[in-house]
């Protein structure tokens, strides 16, 4: 969490790459792949601390701006294409939040009505990613250069103050009018007050994510083959098994991939399976886990996506790894969805209740409250 000139960060940002040695032992090498969170929290020194949302209804002015700044920073750390690559991941997270609430729910509005509502109940990726996409859309309307200049003017205008969405929009209109920038096409009311996904779908550059999407498709195809290996009578399809193994052997080398690319692959695969209302069979999980050593990964983002895939596929073998993960850290980004997935699964509900009872006092009070609500506990 950020404070002016002082940021507290979670140990889940410490990453390591696993490497199996010749004697079979696993060695970990330090990594710095999750520095985007550091960029995010440092950016809050401007958008969040120097300028602060007036009330929780306008929380997107903290988080949407900070996501925009974070991606600007990381595009300079990596490459210009990284901005769109990470924005695609954010768009997927936004879609997940909208699906969780329902696309007509007030909490999916950019400025939700929180009258007599605990703001914690509305916490999701919506203010982060819908807010970011609103700013991204405005930058596409006026041009990237002019919008960056506007961002500087915005900071100067509202520094040391709180700000509302209305004030932001009024200042943007005035700024554009004074520079003859045409924003007549912007439907401010739809962006701000309409629930669900944004009416305008961004055209992000998918050049960095295309390889991840292709790999997800390959594993989806492999799983389809594995589904045909044995029918209900236990009769095996040897041809399908051989075809699956051959496809695995011909998968691309991912040794130079970033963890973000692996996360995009897993997220895409989860989306494909959800859309088809299918799950990974256990054989597919075992093959993927062995191929990429996911079970020994120390990268929190990879562990979260991998364990989500295992739980949704009723892969009971993942329980020890899930228990370790949800007890060694307390980030709501990870523990809430994992507890929810366990609670909905056929095999994990009892474990979710047991582990939360054991570890509840170790979580932040807000995390305790929200997980208890997810698990439908009477004291939530």
Active site residue ranges: 41, 128
Residue closest to 123 by CA, chosen among 333, 360, 359 = 333
- HEC states along the chain? CEECCEECCCHHHCEEEEEECCCCCEEEEEECCCHHHHHHHHHCCCECCCEEECCHHHCHHHHHHHHHHHHHHHHHHCCHHHHHHHHHHHHHHHHHHHHHHCCCCHHHCCCCCCCCCCHHHHCCCHHHHHHHHHHHHHHHHHCHHHHHHHHHHHHHHHCCEEECHHHHHHHHHHHHHHCCCCCCCCCHHHHHHCCCCCCCCCCCCCCCCHHHHHHHHHHHHHHHHHHCCECCCCCECHHHHHHHHHHHHCCCCCCCCCHHHHHHHHHHHHHHHHHHCCCCCHHHHHHHHHHHCHHHCCCHHHHHHHHHHHHHCCCHHHHHHHHHHHHHCCCHHHHHHHHHHHHHCCCCHHHHHHHHHHHHHHCCHHHHHHHHHHCCCCCC
Cβ contacts of residue 1 below 8 Å, gap of 6+?
7, 8, 41
* Block residue for tokens 């109940």: 121
Long-range CB pairs of 172-175 (<8 Å, 24+ gap) are 172/138, 175/150
6-7 vs 15-20, strand pairing mode: unpaired
| Spatial separation of the C-alpha atoms in residues 177 and 179, rounded to whole Å | 5
């Amino acid at each position: 969490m950020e404070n002016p000139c002082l940021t507290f960060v979670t140990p889940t940002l410490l990453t390591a790459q696993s490497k199996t040695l010749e004697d079979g032992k696993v060695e970990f090498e330090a990594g710095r792949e999750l520095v985007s969170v550091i960029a995010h929290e440092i950016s809050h020194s401007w958008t969040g601390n120097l300028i602060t949302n007036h009330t929780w209804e306008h929380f997107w002015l903290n988080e949407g701006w900070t996501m925009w700044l974070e991606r600007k920073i990381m595009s300079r750390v990596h490459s210009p294409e990284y901005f769109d690559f990470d924005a695609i991941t954010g768009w997927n997270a936004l879609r997940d939040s909208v699906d969780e609430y329902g696309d007509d729910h007030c909490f999916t509005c950019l400025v939700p009505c929180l009258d007599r509502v605990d703001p914690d109940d509305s916490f999701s990726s919506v203010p982060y990613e819908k807010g970011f996409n609103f700013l991204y859309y405005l930058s596409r309307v006026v041009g990237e250069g002019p919008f960056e200049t506007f961002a500087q003017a915005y900071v100067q205008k509202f520094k040391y103050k709180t700000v509302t969405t209305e004030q932001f929009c009024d200042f943007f209109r005035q700024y554009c009018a004074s520079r003859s920038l045409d924003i007549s096409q912007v439907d401010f009311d739809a962006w701000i007050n309409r629930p669900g996904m944004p009416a305008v779908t961004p055209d992000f550059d998918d050049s960095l994510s295309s390889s991840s999407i292709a790999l997800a498709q390959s594993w989806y195809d492999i799983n389809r083959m594995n589904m045909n290996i044995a029918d209900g009578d236990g009769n095996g399809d040897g041809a399908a098994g051989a075809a699956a193994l051959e496809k695995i052997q011909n998968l691309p080398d991912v040794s130079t991939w970033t963890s973000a690319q692996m996360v995009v692959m897993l997220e895409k695969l989860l989306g494909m399976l959800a859309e088809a209302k299918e799950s990974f069979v256990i054989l597919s999980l075992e093959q993927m886990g062995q191929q990429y050593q996911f079970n020994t990964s120390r990268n929190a983002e990879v562990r979260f996506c991998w364990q989500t895939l295992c739980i949704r596929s009723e892969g009971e073998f993942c329980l020890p790894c899930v228990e370790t993960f949800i007890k060694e850290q307390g980030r709501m980004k990870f523990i809430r969805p994992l507890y929810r997935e366990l609670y909905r699964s056929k095999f994990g509900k009892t474990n979710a209740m047991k582990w939360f009872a054991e570890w509840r006092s170790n979580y932040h009070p807000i995390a305790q409250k929200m997980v208890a609500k997810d698990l439908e506990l009477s004291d939530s």
